[in-house]
């Protein structure tokens, strides 16, 4: 999987950050933070960190000294994450090594950030898991297949590692809706679950599958919705989503009739976005699991 192919460009990850932050499920988050409070200086791993969204979101919500290990299989994104953390408001930055890590301090609180470049599916080869207190992943696991998640969960269970997975995709609705939305949103979701070298991504089934797999491993779980409410004036988000829909749907083997219908549907959405007359509600689920 390449960043460019999948659209993990820093501009998209930056655009979605405030929507993710607003959408995060508070009950799930509290369960996770309550658990974390029992460790005086926790070590947290941000899996598929992109440009460091979890660190940016939680740094002020974790009151104690703590350490982040940012994991991504793209060194460019790890570098970008560190660079953007140097701008964290209200923190002093020391020990900044552009590809390796940095330290942030604020009123006596110290936050260390390190990086590890590699696949989250081979985490035990990347990190000493005995030193880790919590794994987090934001907007990551819907990309992976059920088999990949089963392998990952076995690692969680073996190492008794708690896991917070936020913003896992579940649905998309245009507001107002039109007649053909269901057809093309359905195709978009089928594209997420298309056959790829590693299997089929879990896509909209992600939360349901994760819960089922983790329940099978006797995990205790807190689960809840985390929904983006994208309004008609949120043009940055609307344009990104339009672009992803357009690209994905044109990759599908549609019939000529479906192709024509699709072009008409996309043109209607383009007009509605440009005219400030449409929003999108994107459903996600958050999950905190521990053993
Ligand atoms: C949708 S982005 C989410 C990024 C970030 N968590 C956020 O919320 O902005 C998915 C991230 O997973 C990373 N990724 C994909 N496959 C991976 C793998 N096998 N191991 C580690 N990271 C991976 C991508 O490089 C990308 O940064």
* Blockwise average pLDDT, block size 10, the chain, 291 residues: 54 96 98 97 98 96 97 95 96 96 96 97 97 98 96 97 98 97 96 89 96 98 98 98 95 93 97 97 98 96
CA nearest 48: which of 133, 142, 154? 142
CA distance 124 to 120: 9
Residue nearest to atom 27 of ligand 1 (CA): 50
User: What per-residue confidence (pLDDT) applies to 3?
Assistant: 32
User: What per-residue confidence (pLDDT) applies to 1?
Assistant: 34
Q: Which stretch of DSSP H or E encloses residue 97?
A: strand 92-97
CA nearest 209: which of 194, 193, 196? 193
Q: Who lines ligand 1 at CB under 6 A?
A: 1, 3, 8, 13, 48-50, 53, 71-74, 77, 119-121, 138-140, 143
**How far does residue 280's CA lie from ligand 1's centre (Å)?**
23
User: What per-residue confidence (pLDDT) applies to 197?
Assistant: 86
Residue nearest to atom 11 of ligand 1 (CA): 48
Alpha carbon separation from 269 to 177, 183, 250, 260, 283 (Å, rounded): 10, 14, 15, 14, 19
| Contact assessment for residue 42 and residue 36, using Cβ atoms and an 8 Å cutoff | yes
For residue 113, cis peptide bond before it (omega within 30 degrees of 0): no
3-state percent helix, strand, coil for the chain, nearest multiple of 5: 45, 25, 25
CA distance 223 to 122: 26
114-118 long-range contacts (CB < 8 A, ≥24 apart) are: 114/67, 114/68, 114/69, 114/70, 115/69, 115/70, 115/71, 115/72, 115/78, 115/81, 115/82, 116/69, 116/70, 116/71, 117/71, 117/72, 117/73, 117/74, 117/75, 117/78, 118/71, 118/73
User: What per-residue confidence (pLDDT) applies to 4?
Assistant: 40
CA distance 113 to 69: 6
| Contact assessment for residue 118 and residue 124, using Cβ atoms and an 8 Å cutoff | no
pTM of the model: 0.95
Q: Ligand 1: which of 11, 23, 50 to mutate, most ligand atoms within 8 Å of CB?
A: 50
């Amino acid at each position: 999987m390449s960043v460019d192919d999948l659209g993990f460009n820093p501009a998209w990850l930056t655009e979605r950050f405030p929507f993710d932050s607003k959408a995060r499920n508070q009950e799930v988050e509290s369960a996770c933070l309550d658990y974390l409070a029992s460790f005086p200086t926790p070590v947290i791993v941000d899996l598929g960190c992109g440009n460091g969204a979890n660190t940016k979101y939680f740094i002020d919500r974790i009151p104690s000294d703590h350490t982040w290990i940012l994991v991504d299989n793209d060194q460019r994104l790890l570098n970008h994450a560190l660079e953007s953390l140097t701008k964290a408001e209200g923190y002093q930055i020391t020990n900044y090594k552009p590809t390796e890590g940095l330290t942030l301090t604020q009123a006596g609180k110290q936050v260390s950030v390190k990086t590890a470049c590699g696949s989250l599916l081979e985490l035990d080869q990347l990190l000493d898991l005995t030193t880790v207190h919590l794994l987090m992943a934001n907007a990551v696991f819907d990309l992976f297949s059920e088999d990949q998640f089963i392998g990952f969960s076995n690692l969680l269970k073996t190492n008794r590692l708690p896991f917070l997975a936020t913003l896992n995709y579940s649905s998309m609705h245009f507001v107002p809706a039109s007649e053909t939305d269901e057809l093309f949103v359905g195709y978009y979701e089928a594209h997420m679950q298309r056959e790829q070298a590693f299997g089929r991504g879990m896509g909209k089934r992600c939360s349901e599958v994760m819960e089922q797999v983790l329940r099978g491993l006797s995990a205790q779980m807190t689960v809840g919705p985390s929904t983006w409410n994208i309004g008609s004036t949120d043009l940055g988000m609307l344009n990104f989503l339009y672009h992803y829909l357009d690209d994905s749907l044109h990759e599908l083997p549609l019939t000529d009739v479906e192709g024509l219908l699709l072009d008409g549907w996309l043109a209607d959405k383009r007009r509605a976005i440009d005219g400030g007359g449409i929003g999108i509600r994107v459903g996600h689920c958050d999950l905190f699991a521990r053993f």
